[in-house]
A and B are shown apart, each in its own frame.
Chain A
Amino acid sequence: MHQLLRTRVNDFAIKLGNVNGTGSASANSLLMQAIFRMGIPVSGKNLFPSNIQGLPTWYEIRVNKDGYTARALEYDLIIAMNSQTYAKDVAEVREGGYLLYDSTWPLDPHLRRDDITILGIPFSQMCNESFGESRERILMKNIAYAGALVAMLDVDMGVVEQLLDEKFSTKKAMRESNLKALTLGHDYAKQNFSCPLPFHLEKMDANGDKILIDGNTAAALGCLYAGATVAAWYPITPATSIMDAFREFCEQYRKDPQTGENNFCVLQAEDELGAIGMVIGASWNGARAFTSTSGPGISLMNELLGLAYYAEIPAVVIDVQRVGPSTGMPTRTQQGDLMEAAYASHGDTKHILLFPSNPAECFEFAPKAFDLAERFQTPVFMMTDLDIGMNDWVVPKLKWDESYRPDRGRVLTAEQLSQMAKFQRYHNEDENSIAARTLPGIHAKGAFFTRGSGHNKFGGYTETPDEYQEVLDRLLRKHKAAAKFVPAPLVQTRPGARIGIITIGGCDPAVREAVDILAARGIVADYMRIRGFPFDSGVEEFIMSHNYCFVVEQNRDAQLRSLLVLETAVPKDRLRSVLSYGGFPLSARHVVEPVIAQVPPELLNARPKSEDAHRTVVSDTWE
């Protein structure tokens, strides 16, 4: 009996092929949200084009009772709603799987496959008969396929109706037409197919204390909670929704109820050079300020990032990485800005980087980014990516530590200044090589001249080698000191492990799944997820305790590996690369196969204990 014909509950992947700009996103997220509310671990990946209307777009949903929610590459069911991509969609259905298409028009017989089941529903015809207005017909076709999936996958209809109630609480007519379309698809599937399909859903209780949120929204919330008051940005995919969300949250929570005044200022800059300039100006003046951008923006910001580094001015930059180089693929994901961010700007510069792996960490790391920027008086990058930023992730409910207070770093008060004989900006460093700064307008004694040109430790202009070097050397010591303050790596060890697997950011779910799959295949690996740069000492220790480490990352040039080679003392040959940089979120298969191909033969035979082989990681690393 074929595997797919066996009943599988809460363990499958589907893919929805649509035309962008037709409203499919709301139908897809309705499904995703319904599954989430059924308490089942789920992920949704939006694979969309850099376009507003008319090009192919896909949405993938993976459900997995064991919590593996990285992108799946095997699709049990593909919903082909875009005739332009029929050929590709039909070809991608796994053997024994299903294809659902709009049978208003016949499917090209050449596309038929014997090893899959092809189901047709005349969505267009049904919607044309049921709805009058042309835009509504197009929109409701999507809701109709959602209805069919409700029947085919056993989605809880009550949950779906509840979602529609919430979504259209003030638009009764919309609710009615959505429900009508949903029923059309649902009833057709029920009457014509054997529902549910062999793979389907059953209620679970895995999402009790979880939320469904994208990283950009979570990052914006983090900036709100961090107390950021000035935000400057230039619109860019995939970072734009950070500032949209930040502004929305501010409108809600930062408007003074008495005066109506805004306790924030969001500036849409003329370009990214301006955006980072504004952040630096505001930070120089004491505000918590940030910008959100992507690779092309970082390229433009390089000049002023060097100024902030050298003049020691805080700046928080959220980089939602997309595919480069150049314009690249703006709606695809990558981790291609690591080197650029680590060493942004000309001359000797090094920056602090944080690597959140999911929306919950975007929220958690945002206040850390501000604390580090102000403590170390330097730019701090929060490196997320399009997959984290724009896709909805199931993460533990965000928690806030009520005792949190911003770390403003060494900023002298008026009282401290009044007692000083003379304030000198880059003098009297603390144990982390940080000198005190002053804010303009606080006290007459605090005034000094900030400059990006050569300066000595007193802040004065210099072209003298020793004086210049003295400051530059302190900056290096300061950067190194930050290693103790960035989030430590998370390490997961297994008995008998002889290799290590290292990654960062959004690769985490795929790598954790891969580590389990490898263990089941007899390759036992320890796992480390790096969360900050400069590297915590634990990073080097982990590598040194393994003869072979695989560095999994989403770029061509092994940038994380390069950083490890450059910034730790580990021998280069201990680090092997697993690279995936085509632009789609990482899947466990992208890791498993290259690791097996590169594992030295003597390690292949090391059979694990049986319990290790079956150990699965349901809990997430942030718990």
Chain B
Amino acid sequence: MPSITKPVAVHPSLHRNAIGLNLRDYEGAMSTLCAGCGHDSITAALIRALWELSIEPHMIAKLSGIGCSSKTPTYFVNGAHGFNSAHGRMAAIATGANAANRELTYIGVSGDGDSLSIGLGHMCHAIRRNVKMLYVIENNGVYGLTKGQFSASADVGSKSKRGEANRMTPIDPVMLALSIGATFVARSFSGDKEQLVPILKAAIAHRGFALVDVISPCVTFNDHNGSTKSYLYTRKHMQRTTEADFVPPASEILATIGPVGSTTVTMHDGSVVRFNAVPKDYDPTDRKKVLNYLQENQGSIATGLLYVDETVANMHEMNATPAGPLWSLPYEKLCPGTAALNELQEDYR
């Protein structure tokens, strides 16, 4: 409830991270979403991931579009810069923001309406540009704020609260992202924090665009029998395809010593993702194998860090921009001055 504010007092026994902040420092305002909403669990996972990564709050830019999911940036990291923009446009705004300042950590929070309908194009092109950001889709298959219309991720045959069945084929953000060259694709479940937190951390460490599709049941409009995005259905059908540990750069040496048969991927910032319990013939760095696996296992909801490629240049690398923020370049470096103007005008004589 918006009228309820969180207590200011912090218990002294709370753990502090590397920069001396406790978990409460990564919280935001009280959620105004429905009690039991999957989105709130994702918010909690984000808070934990950001705290564990010890990112300075004001170096975080949290952006969203419009919808239930897009309200959530208010609910984490009060000390971050927030931008609740327009429906579907977050990916474009984040792209421009990132172009101007590559030093911030970009967290985009979106929903299935925001990302798979009105903002589908922007999301796809942010993927193509490999904009360095965490892009979370809080996927519940339904339009919540407008009270229960099907979204583009609703499965064929999935039923609305009123019993109407969806007949149009869904857009699967994971398959879509893989098909257009996404460099980090994960799927998780809002009810599985143990899996979600390391995925979010790895996504933030990723070199480019990290898509994390999180099945996040809507308790009010899409948590009934006949829904394929309900808590019950998701728990029944989800299959942890990969289990990933995220190991920050400092503990790199330990991380590489995984169990026999595990895969490790070194992230661009030196951190390591160690995959355990990966099915036979599944290689999270081989797009073809990942696509094959997903095709063959369509009946279940494959979760985990499904695909990662740290070798592809991100937007800044493709554009050969300097290391610091573009906005901070001194004007003297940007303006060629009178002499250059006079000289170049010789071509217009």
Contact = CB atoms under 8 A, between A and B. Distances in A.
B336 interface: yes
B321 A261 contact: yes
Interface stretch (A349-357, A400-408, A528-536): A400-408
Q: Which of A261, A277, A461 has the most CB of B within 10 A?
A: A277
A274 B334 contact: no
A453 B67 CA distance: 12
B interface, over-half SS: helix
Nearest to A262: B320
Contacts of B93: 277-278, 280-281, 284
Q: Which of B101, B326, B338 has the most CB of A within 10 A?
A: B326
Interface in A238-295: 253-254, 256, 259-267, 269-271, 273-289
Given A405-B331, A452-B84, A289 B96 contact: yes
A440 B349 CA distance: 45
A447 B57 contact: yes
A260 B74 CA distance: 40
A449 B82 contact: yes
Given A230-B99, A279-B96, A225 B335 contact: yes
A449 B72 CA distance: 12
Contact of B345 (A280, A307, A397): A397
Contacts of A444: 56-58, 79
Given A269-B125, A281-B93, A440-B58, A256 B322 contact: yes
Contact of A225 (B61, B100, B336, B345): B336
Interface string B65-88: 000000001100011111111100
A285 B321 contact: no
B130 to A, nearest CB: 13
B254 interface: no
Contact of A273 (B81, B89, B104, B337): B89
A270 B96 contact: no
Given A271-B121, A402-B338, A265 B86 contact: no
Contacts of B73: 449
Contacts of B58: 440-444, 446-447
B333 to A, nearest CB: 6
A227 interface: yes
Contact of B340 (A253, A284, A397, A446): A253
Contacts of A282: 96-97, 99-100, 326-327
A37 interface: yes
Given A273-B89, A274-B121, A450-B84, A267 B95 contact: yes
A439 interface: yes
Contacts of B345: 211, 213, 397-398
Given A232-B96, A269-B92, A452-B86, A263 B325 contact: no
B84 A264 contact: no
A275 B96 CA distance: 9
A402 B61 CA distance: 36
Nearest to B32: A461
A400 B121 contact: no
B59 interface: yes
B101 A285 contact: yes
Given A261-B322, A447-B80, A287 B99 contact: yes
A448 interface: yes
B8 interface: no
Interface in B100-116: 100-101, 103-104
Contact of B96 (A37, A277, A400): A277
A400 B337 contact: yes
Nearest to A288: B327
A285 B340 contact: no
A144 interface: no
A397 B348 CA distance: 9
Given A267-B96, A274-B122, A398-B341, A449 B56 contact: no
Contacts of A8: none
B94 interface: yes
B146 interface: no
B124 interface: yes
B327 A453 contact: no
A212 interface: yes
A286 B96 contact: no
Nearest to A284: B97
Contacts of B98: 281
B218 to A, nearest CB: 21
Q: Which of B95, B98, B342 has the most CB of A within 10 A?
A: B95
Given A269-B125, A281-B95, A304-B86, A254 B319 contact: no
Interface in A439-479: 439-444, 446-453, 461
A265 B323 CA distance: 13
Nearest to B320: A262
A229 interface: yes
Contacts of B81: 440-441, 446-450
A256 B326 CA distance: 13
Given A278-B95, A444-B79, A287 B326 contact: yes
A135 B82 CA distance: 58
Nearest to A250: B334
B103 A441 contact: yes
B334 A254 contact: yes
A317 interface: no
A303 interface: yes
A383 interface: no
B329 interface: yes
Given A263-B334, A265-B319, A285 B121 contact: no
Given A307-B85, A440-B61, A285 B335 contact: no
Q: Which of B59, B99, B124, B125 has the most CB of A within 10 A?
A: B99
A224 interface: yes
A232 B326 CA distance: 14
Contacts of A406: 331
Contacts of A277: 85, 89, 91-93, 95-96, 122
B97 A285 contact: yes
A281 B327 contact: no
A281 B121 contact: no
B96 A281 contact: yes
A275 B345 CA distance: 30
A279 B83 CA distance: 14
Contacts of B125: 269-270, 274
Contacts of B335: 224-225, 227, 404
Nearest 3 pairs of A and B residues by beta carbon? A277-B92, A281-B96, A278-B96
24 contacts: A211-B349, A212-B348, A229-B100, A229-B334, A230-B326, A232-B95, A232-B99, A253-B336, A254-B334, A256-B333, A263-B322, A278-B92, A282-B97, A282-B327, A304-B85, A400-B337, A400-B338, A440-B58, A441-B59, A441-B61, A447-B57, A448-B81, A450-B81, A450-B83
Given A230-B99, A273-B92, A440-B61, 9 more contacts: A37-B349, A217-B348, A225-B335, A227-B331, A273-B89, A281-B83, A281-B95, A400-B338, A444-B79
